[in-house]
C-alpha cells in the first residue's frame, strides 16, 4: 500500500502533471506540423489525461486505469455539473480516438481535424487547470 503524501508533495506532483499536460499539447502541435496526425491525437489525449490526473490528485480521487479515469471523471465532475458535458466531450472524444489510432487498423487523422482537436484540448485543459488552481488556493 502506498503511503499518504504530504501537502507539499501533492502540490509538487499536481504542478508536474499540469506541466506535462502543457508539454503534451506542444508535442501535438509539433507532430501536427510534421504530418504525424495519429501521434498528435495521442499526445492530445495525454494532455487531458495528465491534467485530469492532477485534478484527481487534488480531490483525492484514485483511478487505476484509463477507463477508470474516464468513468470517475464523468461521475465526479460531469454528472455533478462541475464541468459542462459540452466541454468534457473533447476528453471523451480523444479517449476513443486515441484508442482507435493506437489499436485499430487503417485509422488516419487529417490536418484539419487535428487542428480542431488541438484548439478544443487547449480550452479543456485550461478549464481543468483553473479548477485545480482555484481550489488549491
pLDDT, tens digit (0-9, with 9 covering 90-100), for 45-91 = 999 999 999 999 999 999 999 999 999 999 999 999 999 999 999 99
| % of the chain residues with pLDDT over 70 | 94
Residue with more model confidence, 81 or 135: 81
Topology of domain 7-136, CATH = 1.20.120
The model's pTM is 0.91
- How far, in Å, are 6, 34, 72, 88 from residue 117 at the CA level? 36, 16, 23, 13
- pLDDT at 10 (0 to 100): 93
Domain ranges of the chain: 7-136
- pLDDT at 1 (0 to 100): 37
Amino acid at each position: 500500500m502506498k503511503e499518504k503524501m504530504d501537502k507539499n508533495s501533492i502540490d509538487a506532483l499536481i504542478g508536474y502533471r499540469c506541466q506535462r499536460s502543457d508539454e503534451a499539447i506542444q508535442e501535438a502541435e509539433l507532430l501536427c506540423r510534421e504530418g504525424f496526425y495519429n501521434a498528435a491525437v495521442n499526445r492530445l489525449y495525454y494532455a487531458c489525461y495528465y491534467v485530469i490526473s492532477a485534478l484527481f490528485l487534488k480531490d483525492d480521487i484514485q483511478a487505476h486505469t484509463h477507463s477508470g479515469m474516464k468513468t470517475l471523471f464523468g461521475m465526479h465532475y460531469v454528472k455533478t455539473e462541475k464541468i459542462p458535458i459540452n466541454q468534457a466531450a473533447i476528453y471523451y472524444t480523444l479517449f476513443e480516438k486515441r484508442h482507435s489510432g493506437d489499436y485499430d487498423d487503417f485509422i488516419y487523422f487529417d490536418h484539419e481535424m487535428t487542428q480542431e482537436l488541438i484548439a478544443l484540448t487547449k480550452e479543456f485543459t485550461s478549464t481543468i487547470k483553473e479548477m485545480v488552481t482555484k481550489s488549491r488556493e
